[in-house]
Amino acid sequence: MLAHYSTICPFFHHLPIMPSQRPISTTAETIEPIGITSRAWAVVVLCGFAGMLFYMDRGTLSVLKTTLKADLGWTDSDYGWLVTVFMLFYTTCFFFSGRLIDRWGTRVMMPLFIGAMSLATLLSGLARSLGEMGACRALLGVAEAGVMPAIMVAIFQWVPAHRRGLASTIKEPLYVVGQVLATPLAVWFTTRWNWHAAFFGPGVVGVFIAFAWWWTDKKAHVTTAIPAAPATPDSADTRPAGYREVLSRREIWGVIAARLVSDPLWFFLIYWEPGFLQERMGMSLSDLGRIGWIPTAAATTALLIFGPTSDWLVSRFGWAPARGRRVILQYLVILAPLVLALHYVRQPAMAIALLCLVRVMAVTWLNFTNILMADLVQKKMIGTAVALMSAFGAGTSMLCNAFVGPIVSSVGYGVIFAFGACLHPIAAIILWRAYGRKEKPAGSTRPHQ
């Protein structure tokens, strides 16, 4: 079967099993069924709710971009400044959040992150000037820098390796609820009352989620979801890993470099897609509330398929989990030219259709690279490693975003789309170069990458 794959697409023939991962066999002698406790599933669901709030709190501002420009007299450059402020604090705090999570655990840190995120959203509803909104976005960036690393750490604490692809996609429907509801809820609150009210709903919900997390996420170290492993010099040392220790692992630099390149498109879609649909496609705020959620829903539906598919590749072919993620990522870049096609469409329905496919690629890349990073490092450094990778990706996104507002104001979206269409193919080449060496026969010694 592997020969069949290499015949169809030689590009994937040389994807190796990473040295930090052992192939998962499907034989009864080598894999023991491991139960997942009800508390573990509850944590997975709460991860989904945390991600839902993550996207709702972030997305409300982008939905209201055109409304705020008209109401407060902001320009595209002003809006771009708000996004840059958020990205600056979001990027910087990644260098601290992962370390804090590895040191204090998700039970302590996640309620703090969710609580601060909800406070920032509530205060955004009270903002009446660009400076006040900027301060709220700064606080939101500080809080959100810890949410996704904490989610990844929680998944790896509670769920065994051969079920993490499934667990990571089970939470995705709640992610999409946040992204989908951000648009119609913001529109509903704004049209019924005013734009200030659109920030209050997610903020109040977040307070309850923070308390629920504190009550649920406890005693993960004794759950039957995590099999005991023989003690090794690395695994016996449970102290949180430092930045130097994490960054000294050469095998993680391929996925970090891929995220450096690919993340700017994702952040562009989050913050500028609603404005593009309203200002370029002529959609009203009500139109956006009715159909603006469709690309996000389509992307999450696809992700629900790709997650179990990566687990199936692991069990069917004996691949390492990291390889199952990479294969899917590299095939998805065939959708990248559709980003450029957005510049040439004039019908809202066609733009929505293209955005559905573009989002499938971008969302899957974001999700699977997080899992891929966690696959490549030891448990004690997952939070720090994911946070550092996210910081690098957010850093390049912040730099790119600083130019989006002036470019859109002067020449429109065409240059942005042309640039965005190149990013994921370049990232796929980086992954191939980093992990595309020819596999050695089973049982042979592979050098540490």
Buried b (16+ CB within 10 A) or exposed e, 193-221: eebeebbbbbbebbeebbebbbeebeebe
Q: Above 80 in pLDDT, residue 15?
A: no
Average pLDDT of span 430-443: 62
Average pLDDT of span 48-66: 83
CA neighbor of 324 nearest in space, from 47, 31, 30, 23:
23
DSSP 158-198: HS-GGGHHHHHHHSHHHHHHHHHHHHHHHHHHHHHT-GGGG
pLDDT band at 98 (very low <50, low <70, confident <90, very high): confident
Q: What's the pLDDT at 36?
A: 63
Q: What's the pLDDT at 238?
A: 55
Query: pLDDT (tens digit, 9 = 90+) per residue, 412-435?
Result: 889 999 999 999 999 999 988 887
Q: What's the pLDDT at 21?
A: 40
Q: What's the pLDDT at 445?
A: 37
Q: What's the pLDDT at 171?
A: 67
User: pLDDT higher for 416 or 409?
Assistant: 416
Q: Above 60 in pLDDT, residue 200?
A: yes
Average pLDDT of span 120-125: 90
Q: What's the pLDDT at 239?
A: 60
Average pLDDT of span 379-408: 84
Task: List the Cα angle 145/325/142 in 5-degree steps.
Answer: 0
CA distance 427 to 333: 9
CA distance 193 to 227: 52
pLDDT band at 30 (very low <50, low <70, confident <90, very high): very low
Give Cα separations from 398 to 90, 212, 383, 404 (angstroms): 9, 33, 22, 10
pLDDT band at 334 (very low <50, low <70, confident <90, very high): very high
Average pLDDT of the residues of the chain? 78
For the record, the structure tokens of 77 come out as 């450059």
Average pLDDT of span 305-316: 79
pLDDT band at 135 (very low <50, low <70, confident <90, very high): very high
Q: Which fold has domain 38-214+245-435?
A: Growth Hormone; Chain: A; (1.20.1250)
Percentage, residues of the chain above pLDDT 90: 18
Domain ranges of the chain: 38-214+245-435
Query: pLDDT (tens digit, 9 = 90+) per residue, 65-97?
Result: 888 888 888 888 888 889 889 989 988 888 888
pLDDT band at 336 (very low <50, low <70, confident <90, very high): very high
pTM: 0.65
pLDDT band at 357 (very low <50, low <70, confident <90, very high): very high
Average pLDDT of span 136-140: 93
Encoded amino acid at 55, one letter: Y
Average pLDDT of span 149-162: 77
Q: Above 70 in pLDDT, residue 289?
A: yes
Average pLDDT of span 96-123: 87
Q: What's the pLDDT at 358?
A: 95
Q: Above 50 in pLDDT, residue 446?
A: no
Q: Above 80 in pLDDT, residue 178?
A: no
